[in-house]
Amino acid sequence: MPHPQTPHKHGLALAILGGALALASLTACAADTTGFASAPGFTEVDDERLTGEDYYSAERFPSAGASVFRPDADLAAPVRALLLMDALEGGLPHARYRVTYDLTSDADDPDQTSAEVEITRINLGQTFREDAMQGIPVEHQGPPEAFGIGPHVAWRFEMAPIQGMTSHVAEAGRRELSDAEVATLDCLGAPCARLDSPTGPQGDWIEREWPAPSAEYRAVTIDGPDPAYVVDQMLAVMGEDAQRGTIREVPAREPRFQFVVSVNAGGQDVLTTGLGRNSVVFDDAIGTVWVRTAQFSDQPGEISELMQPRSR
């Protein structure tokens, strides 16, 4: 007759084994990083610093604690990366985000995917102030602090599905950029440092249905949509293609997905715009897909898509 405590012992053994396997998986995940996030100039940022109580707050995630799973468990890599970065850096009233994203796998193991995300956040506060204060006497000009003080920053994340997380952070790195560096950056055909926001190529843009957030997080406030939500929307319009990885190439090619989110960049205040491009489309006829969005404050916004034919 089996000992009455045997099932308990077996359960404990399985739990210990599960924990060991999880630790081994995490270790392997860290060991398999490509060095993307630790490139020269980037300083490593510990995952515990990224995902503390400030990040998993009830304000950011209203349903936090309602499930055994994290509220951001199902978020795509660039969406979660934007939430993580802004939580640590703090928001800016006038900014531009340039986001590049690749989802890839090895040819020998196509089911094992990993994501590389780079976010460059340009502080447009002082440029916006100079433009807005033209012709206004110095004594009546608003202080620089009112327009946002903070460095231009670049973050890199290497992420992979593990432990119930679609986009677990395997490695993260941060660096600050000078005005001179930012002045050289291109944001999908427009200079990143200028107030004018890119609008994409001319063509037959088709209006799409406004997507809901892919998880329950604070997507929109009176100040407008969260930059993470803007990218979330553009990925949703891009559809299944945005969830399919490509075989990793060495040397690496230009990132497949690029997004630009402009927050109160010029002209209309409390306006957030987005422009995204997928340059690798799994379709014989379509070569490139573009998506653009615009939203005033917390009012309903507009989102549209342009599909460019594949070059023959």
Integer Cα distance of 22 and 148 in angstroms: 42
Q: Is 232 inside any structural domain?
A: yes
Q: Is 12 inside any structural domain?
A: no
Q: Is 168 inside any structural domain?
A: yes
CA 279 vs CA 177, 203, 256, 259, 269: distances in Å: 27, 16, 5, 11, 31
Integer Cα distance of 110 and 145 in angstroms: 49
Count how many domains the chain has: 1
Q: Is 21 inside any structural domain?
A: no
Instruction: Answer for the pair 102, 115: CB distance below 8 angstroms, yes or no.
Output: yes
- Average pLDDT value for the chain: 86
Residues of the chain with pLDDT > 70: what percent? 86
Q: Which domain holds residue 83?
A: 36-309
How confident is the model at residue 63, as a pLDDT?
83
Q: Is 147 inside any structural domain?
A: yes
The string of pLDDT tens digits covering residues 136-153 is: 776 667 777 777 889 999
Q: Is 14 inside any structural domain?
A: no
How confident is the model at residue 156, as a pLDDT?
98
Report the predicted TM-score, pTM, of the whole model to 2 decimal places.
0.87
Q: Is 4 inside any structural domain?
A: no
pLDDT at 27 over 80: no
Q: Is 15 inside any structural domain?
A: no
pLDDT at 190 over 50: yes
**Residue 258 three-state SS:** strand
How confident is the model at residue 25, as a pLDDT?
44
pLDDT at 33 over 50: yes
How confident is the model at residue 206, as a pLDDT?
98
